[in-house]
Every structure is written in structure tokens, then in C-alpha cells.
Structure 1
Amino acid sequence: MITAEGITVAYGRRRVLDGVSLSLARGETVGLRGPSGAGKSTLLRVLALLHRPAAGTVSIDGTAITGTRYTVPAAVRTRIGVLFQSPRAAADPRLSLADIIAEPLRVARRSDISARVADLADTVGLTADLLSRRPHAVSDGQLQRACLARAFAHTPDYLLCDEATTMLDAATQALIATVITDYQQRHNAGVLIVTHDPALMTRWADRTLDLADLPATAR
């Protein structure tokens, strides 16, 4: 289980999160909703170990995690995958789709990068001819699938999705949701969905939380 306890984040004098807590278990899908600017994306970044809170802790299986990004041991940080709202902002425009997928594998110095990239691309429905293309030469949906493949690279136990289907057409939204659900079922992964789409939330989430209703004692 990944747990956030009493998370407080402030930007200057503006407090974005104030003592917020939630938990995500393996195998469950949790929806997180709230108005724009309420701090949903900030909370997701804290859970993803990308942003250090002013107060509070993130724990995995009861062990508190100190540090963020590459100060966290690889065995810990790779248990969490993240899919962001804008694939254009999340992907280096100079890289091919194959290289985007391979990024975390190269950091880990995997010896089977080519085979793993091919397997991941197949998992998300990217054909081989697309892998040599750069972001400007593919659609938003194709690029988001490459970002999803990258998120799957280390077979994470938890996948955090920040409005990950907002910029996509209905068919691609459905495909992304299906791929994530299949992955979740195969690996017993916990999935956190941040979305403004109530229909998607209803179809996908096992339980739904409102950010405004998450005090420090929330579960």
C-alpha cells in the first residue's frame, strides 16, 4: 500500500495542500476529484516522489520514504509509475518514441533494452513503424501511449494518472483505460486516477475521493 499522511504543500504564502491524507492499495483503482487549482496534481507529484512536501510523509508498505527523485533508491522509486496529462510536455521532442520508452531502462542500465521496448510498445498498441518517429510526427494519442509504455518500463506496483486521457479523443481514451486495466489485473497494481470526467470516474474507479474531504485522518 502507498500512503500519504498529513501532506502539506505551499508555494510561497499560498498553501495548496493542508494536512491531506489518502491511501492506495495494490489491485484497487481510486479516483481523485476536485476543482481546478485545488492541488490534485500537486498531491500526485508528492505521491510519485517528485515533490517534497513541507510536512507529512509518503510511505510504501509502512516504510516512510525520505527524499525525492533520484535520492530515493531505485528499488523504491521504480515501484511507482506516472502518466501525465500532456504527453507533449512529458516527452523530449528530440527523441524517437523508442527512445522515450527506453529512457528509464537506460537509467537502470538494462541489457535487454531493445527487446523490452518492443514488448512495451506492443503492450500499449504501438506498431513498429511508429517507434522511429519523433513526437511531432505522431498524434497525441500515439505519444501518450509511448508515455504509458515508459511508465510501465519497470513494472510498477502503483500507477498514478494525472488527467491522462483529457487531451485524447474518445476512442484513444477507451484504449488507454483498457491497457491500464489489463496491466492492473496482470500485476495487481494500484491505480490512482485524477480526472474531471465523472463518467470515466464512475466506470473505472472502485472508490472516489474528493480532495476537499481529505483531512489528515482520511483513509
Structure 2
Amino acid sequence: MKGLLVKDFKLMMLQKNFLLLILAIVIGMMIFTDDVVFPLGFLSFVALLFTVSTISYDDFDNGNAFLFTLPITRNNYVIEKYFLGLLVGGIAWILATVLGIVATVLKDTLPVAELVQSALIILPILIVVQAIMLPFQLKFGGDKGRIAMIGAFGVLAVISIVIVKGAEAIFNVDLVSLVDNLRTISMGVLITIIIIIALLMLLVSMKISLSIMNKKEF
């Protein structure tokens, strides 16, 4: 797995100028605007996209066929991609959170506790996005994988709207207000539960990805 990680980091370093540009944009947004939450999430998600792009690089010009002639198993390949996503996304999330805290303290735009709370909300979203993206990318590859992911997120959005509207129309339950009440009651407990659910989704996603890769022909 160490060799795969080295390979992927070298692949990402081919785009280091773009990464530095994104970092500069994020710092600029934190300096010149009062909103530090959006750039925090922006940097984290862009970093995650870079990890997913390594799959496209591997697949380019039938590269996977060569890659698996080396002493690398398909299971190791999948596990490494998930670990890479958590590692790079986590580092970007921590860096963005630290930059956000510094900007918040210097500009006094909002309480630090509120910023940390927003960052903790972004973290499980980041994990869920990774859980959705990786199986599609492994199954369909570059362009088709992106189209399939957009479709999947669209379906999830529609399902969410249907559930909220359906609960309100059939059971007369306002789920949005219910969630808001939960947040005021115990935000820490709610975030912990959401993170645990997100990690379980990531585990299920990894099982699906392992099945995809073991059935895939190169």
C-alpha cells in the first residue's frame, strides 16, 4: 500500500500549481470576505476531488492492466483509495479549519465555537461524498463516472425532497423543524451520531467498491 500512496501523491503533485492556486483562493476568500465556512468546505471538497482523479490517471491508456501485473491486489488498491481520500481530505479539512479559526480570531466575524461546529458538520458530509464518489469512479471510470455521480446526487436530492414533503403531507411532521430542535438540544451528540453514520456508509461503500474491482476486467 505504501507504494500506491507514493504513486498517487506523485500524481497529485503533477497538479501542484492548481492546488496552490486553490489554496490561495481560499485564503483570499477568508481575508476579503466575512464568510469563512464556505472556503473551509470548498478546500476540503477540492482536495477530495484530487484524490478521486488519481483513479482516472490509473485508468488512462489502459494503465490498470499494467498496474495489476505488479505485486498489488485489487483489494489493496481499493483500500488505498479510501485511505488516500480520508488522509488528503482530512489534512485539507484540518488546514482549512485552522485557517478559518485564525481568520475568525483576527477579524472577529463569528464565535470560534460556531466555526468549529460548522467544520464538524462539514466533516461527515465530506465522508459521505467520498462514499458515493469512489464506487462510481471505480465502476465507470473518468467521464462516465462523473456523469453517473451527478445523476446519483440528483436522485439523492429528489429523494430527500420527497421524504421531507411526504412526511409533512402524510404525517404532518416538519422534519426541518425537527432537525433544528435536535440541533439546539444537543449539537455535539447529533454531530457524533452523524459522523458514525457517515463512517458506516463509507464502510458499506468500500465493500461495494471491493466487489466492483474484483469483477472488473482490464
TM-score normalised by structure 1 residue count: 0.29
- Greater strand share, 1 or 2? 1
TM-score normalised by structure 2 residue count: 0.29
- Greater helix share, 1 or 2? 2
Which of the two has higher C-alpha Rg? 2
Higher RCO structure (Cα 8 Å, ≥6 apart): 1
